[in-house]
Amino acid sequence: MVQFLTIPESEFSKERRKLARNFADNLLEAYNGVGIPMNEDQALDQSESAIREVLPNGQQTKNHFFYYIVNENNKPVGHIWFSIEDEFSGKSAFLYMIYINDDERGKSYAHKAMDVLRETVTTKFGIHEIQLNVHAYNKTAIMLYEKLGFKPLKMTMVLTDTQ
């Protein structure tokens, strides 16, 4: 069993730095994996820029929610960030980040957290749709999302050698 615990404002800047680092690591693996050179500084700059754009008011940005994922002993095992969006099909939740701490992986916490997310957006917001983006290299996440019933909606592809 897991539950969500709101990240206190006093801890948000620390968690935001982790979020930026995690996103930068994802960018590095995704871009370098398809032959687009990117170094750590570039990835971190791009990550920070994207977060500033999406969260102009930080943790107080409207319709954005930040939680620790805590286990049955109330120990934080990761964090989750999602928003409530108005889409052409109505309101939906958008999952920006789910992260399970390295030493807690393989214990089904991500799966359980996704179940809690589904329940939360349904009961609290009346929403029955969750969207997310996942990098193509992240096969573990893709398998989890498919197991939970997610279906591909769109795909971004890149051609790096046009000769």
Spell out the domains of the chain, with CATH numbers in brackets.
3-147 (3.40.630.30)
Supply the pTM of this predicted model: 0.90
Above 90 in pLDDT, residue 160? no
Place of tokens 């934080």: 76
Residue 162's pLDDT band, with cuts at 50, 70 and 90, is low
Amino acid (one-letter) located at 159: L
Please name which of 95, 101, 135 lies closest in space to residue 116, comparing C-alpha atoms: 95
**Phi/psi of residue 98, each to 5°?**
-130, 130
Share of the chain above pLDDT 90, in %: 87
Q: Phi-psi category of 91—alpha, beta or left, where left has phi over 0 and alpha has psi -120 to 50?
A: beta
pLDDT at 163: 58
Report the pLDDT averaged over residues 37-50. 96
For residue 97, CA distances in Å to 36, 46, 113, 162 come to 23, 16, 12, 33
The tens digit of pLDDT for each residue in 85-126 reads 987 667 999 999 999 999 999 999 999 999 999 999 999 999
Cα–Cα dist 161/163, whole Å: 6
Average pLDDT score over the chain: 94
List, in order, residues 6 or more apart from 108 with CB less than 8 Å away: none
